[in-house]
Structure 1
Amino acid sequence: MTQFSTPGAAARAHSASGRGARTRIAGVDAARGLALLGMVAVHIMPLRIISAEGAAAPSWAATLFSGRASALFVVLAGVGLALLSGGAAKIGAPKLAGVRRSVAVRAVLIFVIGLGLGILDTNVAVILVHYGVLFACAIPFLNMRARTLGFWAAGWLLLSPLALYLLRPWLSGVLEPFRLGASPLPEDLLTPAVFAADVLVTGYYPVIVWFGFILAGLCVGRLGLARPPVALAIGAAGAVLAVGAKALSAWLLAQPGAMASLAKATDLGRNEFSVAMVTGQRLGGALDTPWFLAVSAPHTGAPLDVLHVVGCALAVLGAVQLVCLAFTALLGSVGEMLLWPLTGAGAATLTLYSAHLVGLDLFSDVSAPLPRTSLFIIYAVACLLAGLVFKFLGRRGPLEALVHSVSRTLGRAT
């Protein structure tokens, strides 16, 4: 679950000289590589574990990555779209029209790939169908500058969780069923009302909320991320937002009646509820109480969850970009090469994300006896080695090459 680096596969930024030279922003690719590894972790590792004493506890994968890795991917999708449409520079109307056509084609291709991956037997909530819809929704915003996008992003991130809170119960009463399974499938297109409700509101990645992440990424991509002060400011602002949202949630949930109301709505004991707040699982009933608006559990779509994960995404992006700049400044080309496994994987996330899902399906019988941590290490190393090979050969990932070629060709059509 960039875009899955599809705008990232073409993401470029104008050089500081402003003379039109274009280069990749290493921090964007490296952050996308980290997001890929985080997604692989939550797909392979259990989110909830039982200790030797019989008590439930969140796993390290849930604690570190649940909700955050996928949100980072979507924010980086917005960054990639911003870079594709000129970055901090303004592009002319003819070129913008071509970019919009290209993004529309990418949206369709990613949507179709997502439907195909949903057929696999992986028990993974595949995000690519939602990605395609998010790309299509972003097209009208590709001509906006950073200030305008900042206002749009702030408003969307603050108001869309409230819309989700109101719409989900209503849709559950109007539609039967009111949502699909973990991933949209081709046959789901035969029930367009349920399909639309799931993708936009009731599903695992509700576009009505997650589009705010795209807008935040578009805004950041317009700010000149290649400059160290900008990267530092983005990282610091993200850290403050992430920590502040968690702290506010903890304070609200400490108010009289909050925990009791949520425990009753979710039918969970105190320990199970604390685990659910980390994993995001088993919290569907929380929508029955207004205290839902105070939680910050992943994939709930609650206001403080949304602000926390977008803050984490900005903090990671700013920090990773500063690390990449430091590597390059201190070690030159050697520093860039040391980052190749991560940046190479980040530039080929559509391919590697799809490949790891295919692998989880094809090799399920072989991998079933393996410890989950060992299996994660195998897939993580494979992703990094593939990234190193792609970087060394100067090649795009196969799916990135396909999407780039088709979208570029059709995007030039008049």
Structure 2
Amino acid sequence: MAAAPGGLTGWIRTRLARLDGSGRAPGIDLARGLAVIGMFAAHLLDTSPFAWGDPAAWIDVVNGRSSILFATLAGVSLALVTGGSTPVDGERMAVARGRIVVRAIAIWVIGLLLVALDTPVLVILPAYGILFLLALPVLRMRPATLLALAAAVALIAPFAVWATDGWAGWESPSGELIAQLTGWHYPFALWFAFVAAGLAIGRLRLGRPRTAFALVLGGAAAAVIGYGVLGRWRSLAEPESVWAHVLDDAAHSSGVAEAVGSGGFAIAVIGVCLLVCRTPLRWLAWPLRAMGSMPLTAYAAQLVAWALLQPEPTVLQFGSDLVAFRATEPFWPLTVATIVGCSLWSLLVGRGPLEAGIAWLARTIVPSSRRGVSLAVG
């Protein structure tokens, strides 16, 4: 391999700059990296309920919000691979849709394989694959329409989720199978709101500072409405009433307050990451951006490592196995190892192995006679 101009220093500089090249959005990669670390923390750290007066409890912010940020960024990725602020059309959109279908199925299958590892983690990927398919009909919607759709789903879907959760069959073997196949612990009926919001974000001009500022302010406003206004309404409802469940703001409650509050939080985080990556700080954040450029690989690697490190096979439940594994304090070793591994892979190889493999599969199954259609971002 020929060395880049400037010898080793030039080669390193060239490799580092790949995450700033065409087809990459540094701020989105950084947000993905933070989402992955947040999910690591939610899985591997023993957290206590969030309280402003107790800094030790602030780590609880990762619960629920990290996976919602992950889902919102999925929508951003879908927008970017279909043209960003200028959606593709005609044959290019048809090819892109076909490749998204392949990608969705591949992610769904990988998710089921990770479920089969029997780690005490509720794997998000089966729901992720279904959400990709649900996004296909709305790929060409305008940002304002997508935001309105996201808001409508966030307000209405919690009622459907509450009703569906009341099905007695969930406790049966067939119900458990359905939950695993659909990733129902991340109910797609509601989580489509986050993908739609992400699509709207990806259709904006992300390179403009005012776009990032608008995301920060708009996201913060939604978080205040969700956790403040709607959360307050929930506290006034009878504890076991329908409204108490539907308006819930607790992590993974699938309540309206959580959907609006955590969705707003995710939007604000994306805006902050876009602003950070407009400054030289983007180079300090490069390792996180490297991990964020291969989030599927990082997420899967954590669960595979967990399965290998746990002393004996477990069942999918939050019980003694989870407590015992957390007692070994695995968060920092696994997180640092993942960041270092992703950084080295990005420098030496480029795209993450799972991301590259799925992209190759999509190109092979859905070829294009035109240039310019790819799934390079995401």
In the superposition, the TM-score normalised over structure 1's length comes to: 0.75
Unaligned runs of 5+ in 2: 1-17, 313-321, 370-378
Q: Provide the residue aligned with 1:237 in structure 2.
A: 218
Q: Provide the residue aligned with 2:254 in structure 1.
A: 301
Q: Deviations over 1:256-300 (max 9, x none)?
A: xx3xx42xx4xxxxxxxxxxxxxxxxxxxxxx5432233200111
- Residues 341, 386 of structure 1: 8 Å contact kept: no
Structure 1 runs (4+) deviating above 6 angstroms are 366-371
Q: Provide the residue aligned with 2:374 in structure 1.
A: none
The alpha-carbon deviation at position 250 of structure 1 amounts to: 4.3
Residue of 365, 373, 376 corresponding to 1:410? 365
204 and 370 in structure 1: CA distance in 2 versus 1, 3 angstrom threshold = closer
Residue of 335, 352, 356 corresponding to 1:401? 356
301 and 58 in structure 1: CA distance in 2 versus 1, 3 angstrom threshold = farther
Any residues of structure 2 matched to 1:177-216 within 5 Å, and which? Answer: 177=172, 180-181=175-176, 188=177, 194-195=178-179, 199=182, 203-216=184-197
145 and 249 in structure 1: CA distance in 2 versus 1, 3 angstrom threshold = closer
Q: Name the CA distance, whole Å, in 2 between partners of 1:375 and 1:69.
A: 18
The alpha-carbon deviation at position 141 of structure 1 amounts to: 1.4
Q: Report the residue type matching 2:78 in the other structure.
A: L
Aligned: 1:381 with 2:362: no
Q: Provide the residue aligned with 1:191 in structure 2.
A: none
Q: Report the residue type matching 1:295 in the other structure.
A: D
Q: Provide the residue aligned with 1:276 in structure 2.
A: none
Q: Deviations over 1:13-44 (max 9, x none)?
A: xx9xxxxx934110100000000001011111
- Residues 297, 353 of structure 2: 8 Å contact kept: yes
- Residues 344, 386 of structure 1: 8 Å contact kept: no
179 and 154 in structure 1: CA distance in 2 versus 1, 3 angstrom threshold = farther
Q: Provide the residue aligned with 2:269 in structure 1.
A: 316
Q: Deviations over 1:68-118 (max 9, x none)?
A: 000000000000000000000131310000000000000110011011000
The alpha-carbon deviation at position 59 of structure 1 amounts to: 7.1
- Residues 48, 60 of structure 2: 8 Å contact kept: no
- Residues 78, 217 of structure 1: 8 Å contact kept: yes
SS at the partner of 2:206? coil
Residue of 193, 203, 222 corresponding to 1:222? 203
The alpha-carbon deviation at position 397 of structure 1 amounts to: 1.1
Aligned: 1:339 with 2:285: yes
Q: Provide the residue aligned with 2:94 in structure 1.
A: 97
Q: Deviations over 1:126-183 (max 9, x none)?
A: 01111111111111112222222222222222211122233332x33x67639755xx
Aligned: 1:41 with 2:24: no
Residue of 121, 124, 131 corresponding to 2:128? 131
Q: Deviations over 1:191-238 (max 9, x none)?
A: xxx459x738xx310010001111000011001112111011011100
Q: Provide the residue aligned with 1:143 in structure 2.
A: 140
165 and 195 in structure 1: CA distance in 2 versus 1, 3 angstrom threshold = closer
Q: Name the CA distance, whole Å, in 2 between partners of 1:140 and 1:312.
A: 26
Residue of 245, 266, 278 corresponding to 1:292? 245
Q: Name the CA distance, whole Å, in 2 between partners of 1:369 and 1:385.
A: 26
Q: Report the residue type matching 2:255 in the other structure.
A: A
61 and 39 in structure 1: CA distance in 2 versus 1, 3 angstrom threshold = farther
- Residues 248, 254 of structure 2: 8 Å contact kept: no
Unaligned runs of 5+ in 1: 1-11, 16-20, 50-56, 182-187, 189-193, 266-287, 328-334
SS at the partner of 1:233? helix
- Residues 110, 125 of structure 2: 8 Å contact kept: yes
Q: Provide the residue aligned with 1:113 in structure 2.
A: 110
RMSD of aligned alpha carbons: 2.9
Any residues of structure 2 matched to 1:19-38 within 5 Å, and which? Answer: 22-38=22-38
409 and 244 in structure 1: CA distance in 2 versus 1, 3 angstrom threshold = same
The alpha-carbon deviation at position 344 of structure 1 amounts to: 0.4
- Residues 234, 315 of structure 1: 8 Å contact kept: yes
